[in-house]
Structure 1
Amino acid sequence: MWVTLKGKHLTVKIDLERYVGTPSPFFLIFTVDEHLLLGACWKGGLDGANVAVHGFFQELLMASSYMLRPEDPKIQKYSQSERKLAEWDKFQLGNEPVVYGTTLNSEGAGLYYFCSTKDLARIYYHNELLEFTDCPEYEGKHKGVVEVPLKEFIEDVLKISREYLEKYAPVIEEIRFKHKGKKEDYNFLWELYQEVKELYEKVENG
């Protein structure tokens, strides 16, 4: 059973029926507008990449936290280091002051650089699964950049993260318990969500 979390631009779909015994046990599809950033297309249909779901949302929230603190010297230093890694990975970034690289906790499925200016969020992506698609509409679209207003990106991340934490994180843990006999504490995600929410409100209120 696929469940969908949807914002204005960001959409996340998680398959709650399939589980594989790896560190990335669930299947997830991530799109931004019409761009398929994480997941595959085979025989005319979309399918998910193997992902650690808590970790996926952690990375979205971390990227958002960095985007909201462009003046922080630690963020600036980190971004300079990430920019060098992006060049090594053959990404051609713009002049964004904030750069946050991640695999989105996917299992060999892609590489992403979340970047931001004062008003824009840019996601440079390489969806490795999409390189081998047999869907004509996605051929040659495994690598690129998608741009959305920064405000709307942060609002989307907060919206879908809260919905995940309230509705589906408990379900994920029940499934994990069924297969592994133990659950994970995801309070850290609530704390990170609250941090991003407070940073966003501070920026919005000047």
Structure 2
Amino acid sequence: MSIDARMPVWDRRLCFAEPVRAAPDATFAAIRRVDFFRSPLIGIPNRARVGFDRTFRRAGTTPEPPRRFGFDQLLTDDGGFHLVEEDPGREIVLGFVGRWWERGYGRVEWDPARFPDLDLRGVGVGGWSFTVLPYATDSVLVTEIRVRCTDDEARRQFARYWTLVGRFVSAMGRPVLRLVRAEAEASGAPAPKPATVGREPRR
């Protein structure tokens, strides 16, 4: 997978998989259409974070909480991600670089072409991938998060941050996949079941 080539070394890694009753191309297309805020587990804490930022920053410096948050919003300035690589129909890899333990996630400017071999010190380099694997006439959707810290100080800061938020990030993994699965399966007729080989089972 592309994330293996792009980010072979990491300090933290999460990986989740979900079977999807839809063809691989339908599953891949659904990744870009889904609204992540349709899941309360994702929407509520993220809207709360925006509200917190609005409360503790000067008025007018933080945008209104978005009503929708999908793939395109991840790639905006507020989303903070860059598209690192895309293998159409198979895999998308996003990157994020910053100091997550600081207010506003300590975002920094970086060149996606140099991901993840950045010479920035004191930051975390994050990779987030969606991979669609064919399975008979259906598909399996895999999402993976990897984080690499660029020095020992960043590693210490990130470890403290992860102690607080790691369980919540982990809890969001499967809901994200289920949203994509529902979108893919609702986008058209389900993929046909493979023919049964041998005798019909007894009823």
**Considering only CA atoms, is the larger Rg found in Structure 1 or Structure 2?**
2
Q: Relative contact order (C-alpha < 8 Å, sep 6+): which is higher? A: 2
TM-score calculated relative to the size of structure 2:
0.30
TM-score calculated relative to the size of structure 1:
0.30
Structure richer in strand, relative to its length: 1
